[in-house]
Amino acid sequence: MKCKGRVAIVIGSKSDLEYAERAEKVLREAGVETEVRVLSAHRDPEALDQYIKENDGEIDVYIAMAGLSAALPGYIASRTDKPVIGVPIPAGPLKGVDALLSIVQMPRGVPVAGVGIGAAENAALLALRILRVAGKCNG
Amino acid sequence: MKCKGRVAIVIGSKSDLEYAERAEKVLREAGVETEVRVLSAHRDPEALDQYIKENDGEIDVYIAMAGLSAALPGYIASRTDKPVIGVPIPAGPLKGVDALLSIVQMPRGVPVAGVGIGAAENAALLALRILRVAGKCNG
Amino acid sequence: MKCKGRVAIVIGSKSDLEYAERAEKVLREAGVETEVRVLSAHRDPEALDQYIKENDGEIDVYIAMAGLSAALPGYIASRTDKPVIGVPIPAGPLKGVDALLSIVQMPRGVPVAGVGIGAAENAALLALRILRVAGKCNG
Amino acid sequence: MKCKGRVAIVIGSKSDLEYAERAEKVLREAGVETEVRVLSAHRDPEALDQYIKENDGEIDVYIAMAGLSAALPGYIASRTDKPVIGVPIPAGPLKGVDALLSIVQMPRGVPVAGVGIGAAENAALLALRILRVAGKCNG
Amino acid sequence: MKCKGRVAIVIGSKSDLEYAERAEKVLREAGVETEVRVLSAHRDPEALDQYIKENDGEIDVYIAMAGLSAALPGYIASRTDKPVIGVPIPAGPLKGVDALLSIVQMPRGVPVAGVGIGAAENAALLALRILRVAGKCNG
Amino acid sequence: MKCKGRVAIVIGSKSDLEYAERAEKVLREAGVETEVRVLSAHRDPEALDQYIKENDGEIDVYIAMAGLSAALPGYIASRTDKPVIGVPIPAGPLKGVDALLSIVQMPRGVPVAGVGIGAAENAALLALRILRVAGKCNG
Amino acid sequence: MKCKGRVAIVIGSKSDLEYAERAEKVLREAGVETEVRVLSAHRDPEALDQYIKENDGEIDVYIAMAGLSAALPGYIASRTDKPVIGVPIPAGPLKGVDALLSIVQMPRGVPVAGVGIGAAENAALLALRILRVAGKCNG
Amino acid sequence: MKCKGRVAIVIGSKSDLEYAERAEKVLREAGVETEVRVLSAHRDPEALDQYIKENDGEIDVYIAMAGLSAALPGYIASRTDKPVIGVPIPAGPLKGVDALLSIVQMPRGVPVAGVGIGAAENAALLALRILRVAGKCNG
């Protein structure tokens, strides 16, 4: 399967980089254009806002990864109408349970697509399924 | 916003019907063609297989809702390459925690997009975001 | 004890209003100026940004209340350097455990002062302790 | 005690092999015919279906082992009327709590016999108890 | 399907009787001989010991139901080599999580077949599967 | 403080010996007569019954330690009217949460005195407090 | 069985009175002298200190009951060398899980005897067992 | 930013010293006067009482750190009307979940400002925000 399209991978902290790279690898092998940005919803909100505003038109799907109180996926979802996939990172003593709940338990109106704790590859595969529905994949 | 496209809503039990209808309402108001099927992965696997085989080509997105050991979303995801959104239903004494974990903690290779416990509307809104990326919405 | 000062109470949803009023009552009885705003971090981010920008100079302490994926306290904390007190609201099937974790498990650099689930009065009393340290209370 | 009979051990992933072997050892020492198959309910549903169809008549008891969203035991239980024993594997950050809930919280009509997290030997011993009731053991 | 055989249903407290009756109904409809005994492992150990000793030879399968620290299934399993099915009853503030863990987390050597919280019918259906393997059912 | 009296320390498995020894050390330093027995409620019920019957008259307090489905403290408590202190051992993937719930969530009528997970020393100190009330300590 | 002796029942809040009365009833029927005091470790520390100092010599056993962050049993245990039994009260959204952990997870050196959530009668029965070891019961 | 003021850091055990030092470093870099005391609410209540009485007038904010049944922050909060920040330490098998609940689930009237598990730096930063509101910081 080969796909076109652009997927933005946003992580809340440099320490989550290995997860971002695992998602990126799956997407690149499918031919998708990807970019990884380290932009915390809590520490870099203005840079994150600017990144979304400037790039949202070209992005098909966001993958947002964060641990602990994982506000990042919901933050992006409230600023775009593109699909946002959230990956809870198993950081800290609660091993990602906190991040999982923060990611999926969104209020009505702002959906995030949560995948399993640490499931970077599945996030990428879910993005590919969305690109395929959009007619951007063949094979 | 008005969208085209077809979203299948599959529930594991008749008792989940109110959730299906909440999702259906959001989708219909957006102009999306929907259908609700009661097909348990555990009790009706053959009918479920047949439904997927016969309709998968026309379906853009699946929304699968189930409580307890919520195998339904993952079951569908393993038989289609369309996006599958899973809604954990707050049934039984664990109030949907069991369903949430069953839905998101999928093995590598078979992604499901989990939303919050009981979050039928957010499942529908996530489906609309996917249809929009597919160029099936305007406004 | 009589205090001066201004405490902003921000809730993510109208359904949390009773908690806001319980906090407000404690603060008003102490003579503190309060205001209640319904501004969701996920649904009204721009109005929330604007509210913070226009009022932050006059506000001494924020009390932010939210259920589920309770992003509101952390959101405010990342846009002000005033103390932010977070109240997890016991909404939904998880009874506020999700909100509690979302509120306290903040990343390094953006502190939120979490109180107990539904503990609106304690949030107000904590705000009064802060005002007292600031020399704004007597008696 | 010596038993006749045939027990199928199915695991969802190669990484669960050590658990399968611990169960197999107990069964073999009792004289039971065993076989280990790596067949994921999510990734190999067709091969799993075929395996069950071709062998179900000769199998007395199934032992199914899986981690995370452990659909395997329930999947088999919905395709056979033989007893199915489920072993939650302590994989991933939740250490098998997710698998335990996925295995035992089955809907009405499709029973699975859950044992403890990682309890491969107990699964084998439970199978022996069933064979004994079936009059297939002596001593 | 019609089965022969005898299944003992033991409950730890009279308050669990409705669950016993739900299991009994399923078994009786299948033609199985059943009996319900209220015998707590903690409060009536001697009567329980005596019951097991006097009847074990005639019993094919035990179904043991208990809430809280649900010692009953394990207690019986340590005094018989027949299969013992454990049903966690959702009593008390923890809604059966305590009972579920007490039932499945058995030490090596003494297996219990745990079913879902409150899953009386599935316990009965599991017993029927065991009777069928024992050649005691037709149809 | 010097005490007389006899405290029985019973563990369910040899692997819990280090905890027994930590309790024993505290008791011996206080002059208390102690004994450690490895007697599983699930695997050695008859030997355990015999031990209790033969020694109960001379024993002042029992300390029972077990992991997983920790039936041992409750088992002893149902066979003696001496105080029984239960120590949940942090064995297995749930780190003693299962054992803690099994130990404290006893049915009405059969009390066990639970201490913290792995808290062998506190169990010994609690036994000393009981001996002191019994007038068996001085200093 | 008739016992002498004095058991102090301390509760952290008037709303826990029904639990205190259930324990008191068991103790009074056994002839034990009891008293119920409402003294919060957090709100009335000085009155609590004074009560302990003035009465500790005459008290054989304390039963302390509290919900939420249940500091009361540990607080008393750090100010007496009598046995302290802690009863977690199922107050608030967490239904006593918070109180259970607060009561049993005491640091080394300050033991509390925890019973089940809401288990007022078992607390009383445990106190009776201690009085019996102290030679204060007959029959 | 440079601040004046005095923050007391109290830990319940020497083993929590690394967390105290991480908080102290942040505060010292901001120019705040700090002191670290090892004073357990359970083991050293009198020394703790004395410390609070003698120093409370000069202290602006307390940071109290404890693991397990973390009574320390609430203990201090009930003896001062200064703001008390509680840091749950991830000690023991529950990794700080017990401490988190003990710290935030305070009864009405005695507020503690809870931060994340192990979040020593955020506790310090929260103290700085309070000092800033008190007009003790510039820059």
Tens-place pLDDT, residues C72-131: 999 999 999 999 999 999 999 999 999 999 999 999 999 999 999 999 999 999 999 999
* CB-CB neighbors (< 8 A) of A116 in chain D: 68-69, 92
CA distance D11 to F55: 48
Q: Which domain holds residue D20?
A: 2-138
* CB-CB neighbors (< 8 A) of A41 in chain C: 71, 74-75, 78
On the CB side of G96, how many CA atoms lie within 13 Å of its CA?
Answer: 22
CA distance F11 to F73: 9
- Burial string for B8-22 (b: 16+ CB within 10 Å, else e) reads bbbbbbeebeebbeb
Contact B134 A129 (CB under 8 A): no
- Residue-level pLDDT at F1: 79
G125 CB near a chain E CB, below 8 Å?
Answer: no
Mean pLDDT over the full length of chain E: 97
Kindly report the CA angle at G93 between G87 and G97, in degrees rounded to 5?
40
The neighbour count for residue D103, using CB atoms within 10 Å, is 35
Q: Which of C43, C74, C78 sits opposite A107 (nearest CB)?
A: C43
- Residue-level pLDDT at C100: 98
A104-131 mean pLDDT: 98
- Residue-level pLDDT at D137: 96
B86 — pLDDT class (breaks 50, 70, 90): very high
Statement: residue D63 has pLDDT above 80: yes
A100-117 mean pLDDT: 98
F88 CB near a chain H CB, below 8 Å?
Answer: no
Q: Tell me how close the Cα of H69 comes to any Cα of chain F, in angstroms.
A: 9
- Residue C139 within a domain: no
C16-43 mean pLDDT: 97
C16 annotated as a binding-site residue = yes
H85-111 mean pLDDT: 97
* CB-CB neighbors (< 8 A) of E96 in chain B: 93
- Residue-level pLDDT at H1: 79
E1 — pLDDT class (breaks 50, 70, 90): confident
Chains in touch with G (3+ beta-carbon pairs under 8 Å) read C, E, F, H
G32 CB near a chain F CB, below 8 Å?
Answer: no
* CB-CB neighbors (< 8 A) of A93 in chain H: 90, 95-97, 117-118
Helix (H) or strand (E) holding F119: none
- Residue G139 within a domain: no
G28 CB near a chain H CB, below 8 Å?
Answer: no
H34-45 mean pLDDT: 96
- Residue-level pLDDT at D89: 98
Helix (H) or strand (E) holding E62: strand E61-66
* CB-CB neighbors (< 8 A) of D110 in chain B: 42-43
Contact F75 E78 (CB under 8 A): no
**Cβ contact H121:H94 at 8 Å:** no
CA distance H70 to G106: 8
Statement: residue G2 has pLDDT above 80: yes
CA distance F20 to F25: 9
For CA atoms F45, F46, F50, F51, give the dihedral sign.
negative
CA distance F128 to G81: 9
* Total domains in the fold of chain E: 1
User: CA-CA distances (angstroms) from residue G35 to C22, G24, G59, G132?
Assistant: 35, 8, 10, 19
C37-48 mean pLDDT: 95
- Burial string for E114-135 (b: 16+ CB within 10 Å, else e) reads bbbbbbbbbbbbbbbbbbbbbe
User: Which residue, F83, F89, F71, is CA-closest to F111?
Assistant: F83
Contact E104 D104 (CB under 8 A): yes
Sole residue written with tokens 């009296």: F5
F14-22 mean pLDDT: 97
Structure tokens, H131: 């000092």
CA F10 to centroid of chain Cα atoms: 6
G34 — pLDDT class (breaks 50, 70, 90): very high
- Residue-level pLDDT at A1: 79
Q: CA-nearest residue of chain F to E104?
A: F69
Q: What is the pLDDT of residues B21-50, one digit of tens each?
A: 999 999 999 999 999 999 999 999 999 999
Q: CA-nearest residue of chain A to D94?
A: A95
Q: CA-nearest residue of chain D to E26?
A: D109
Statement: residue F3 has pLDDT above 90: yes
Statement: residue C1 has pLDDT above 90: no
Mean pLDDT over the full length of chain B: 97
Single-letter amino acid, residue H6:
R
CA distance C113 to C63: 9
CA distance A66 to A64: 7
Q: What is the pLDDT of residues D7-45, one digit of tens each?
A: 999 999 999 999 999 999 999 999 999 999 999 999 999
> Is residue C139 classed exposed, middle or buried when 0-12, 13-18 and 19+ CB atoms within 10 A define those classes?
exposed
G122 CB near a chain E CB, below 8 Å?
Answer: no
Q: Which of A12, A42, A106 sits opposite C69 (nearest CB)?
A: A106
B53-82 mean pLDDT: 98
**Cβ contact C32:C3 at 8 Å:** yes
CA distance G69 to G75: 12
The DSSP symbol for D106 reads P
D1 — pLDDT class (breaks 50, 70, 90): confident
- Burial string for H41-53 (b: 16+ CB within 10 Å, else e) reads bbbbbeebbebbe
E37-50 mean pLDDT: 96
The neighbour count for residue F49, using CB atoms within 10 Å, is 18
A1 CB near a chain D CB, below 8 Å?
Answer: no
A47 CB near a chain H CB, below 8 Å?
Answer: no
Q: What are phi and psi of E13, to 5 degrees?
A: -155, 145
Q: What is chain C's Cα-based Rg?
A: 14
Helix, strand, or coil here: H38?
strand
Single-letter amino acid, residue H10:
V
- Residue-level pLDDT at B1: 79
User: Which residue, A28, A31, A33, A7, is CA-closest to A87?
Assistant: A7
The neighbour count for residue D66, using CB atoms within 10 Å, is 29
C11-17 mean pLDDT: 96
- Residue G138 within a domain: no
- Residue E139 within a domain: no
Statement: residue D139 has pLDDT above 90: no
Statement: residue A139 has pLDDT above 80: no
User: Which residue, B38, E105, F102, D58, is CA-closest to G116?
Assistant: F102
Q: CA-nearest residue of chain F to D117?
A: F93
Contact A83 B114 (CB under 8 A): no
**Cβ contact G31:G2 at 8 Å:** yes
F17 — pLDDT class (breaks 50, 70, 90): very high
E134 — pLDDT class (breaks 50, 70, 90): very high
A65-83 mean pLDDT: 98
- Residue-level pLDDT at A77: 98
A90 — pLDDT class (breaks 50, 70, 90): very high
* CB-CB neighbors (< 8 A) of D71 in chain B: 41, 69, 71, 74-75, 102
Mean pLDDT over the full length of chain A: 97
- Residue H125 within a domain: yes
Q: What are phi and psi of F72, to 5 degrees?
A: -55, -50
Higher pLDDT, H1 or G67: G67
CATH number of D78's domain: 3.40.50.1970
- Residue H138 within a domain: no
- Residue-level pLDDT at A21: 98
Q: CA-nearest residue of chain C to B117?
A: C93
ipTM of the complex: 0.97
End-to-end CA, chain D: 4
- Quick one: what percent of chain E has pLDDT higher than 90? 98
**Cβ contact B35:B58 at 8 Å:** no
- Residue-level pLDDT at G117: 98
Structure tokens, B67: 């409580």
CA distance B21 to C18: 30
* CB-CB neighbors (< 8 A) of G118 in chain E: 92-93
Q: CA-nearest residue of chain A to B26?
A: A109
- Residue-level pLDDT at F55: 98
Statement: residue H139 has pLDDT above 80: no
Find the largest Cα–Cα distance for chain H.
43
- Residue H139 within a domain: no
Q: What is the pLDDT of residues F32-88, one digit of tens each?
A: 999 999 999 999 999 999 999 999 999 999 999 999 999 999 999 999 999 999 999
